[in-house]
Amino acid sequence: DTAVSQTPKYLVTQMGNDKSIKCEQNLGHDTMYWYKQDSKKFLKIMFSYNNKELIINETVPNRFSPKSPDKAHLNLHINSLELGDSAVYFCASSQGANYNEQFFGPGTRLTVL
């Protein structure tokens, strides 16, 4: 009964491929996030959805497209993967957009070869 779950945990793929990472939260939260942890270990916000509506969209290539079928799910689809996309991607959720305590998933380590 993991609060925030992500699949897969590891993803190894070739350049140019399209892949998806799924995220689900069972906390009843309204807001979900995608973060990228880069090689320097900084966590950088990519997207935030509140009740299935996009509220934060940082400067991210449009090859990255989030999809929120319902407020418990926020999936990340990446087209035409590049070497620089290799990173750990974290999904998180919070009670609402104005709630600063965020609950994180275990991360997905993406390796693009």
Partner 1 sequence: DQQVKQNSPSLSVQEGRISILNCDYTNSMFDYFLWYKKYPAEGPTFLISISSIKDKNEDGRFTVFLNKSAKHLSLHIVPSQPGDSAVYFCAAQDSNYQLIWGAGTKLIIKP
Choosing from 51, 60, 73, 106, the residue that interacts with partner 1 (CB under 8 A) is 106
86 binds partner 1 (CB under 8 A): no
Binding mask 19-58 for partner 1 (x = CB under 8 A): ---------------------xxxxxx--x-------x--
Q: What share of the chain is helix, strand, coil (3-state, %, to 5)?
A: 5, 55, 40
Q: Which is nearer to partner 1, 18 or 99 (CB)?
A: 99
Q: Contact at 8 Å (CB) between 80 and 16? A: yes
The bridge status of strand 108-112 relative to strand 53-57 is unpaired
The position carrying tokens 């996309």 is 85
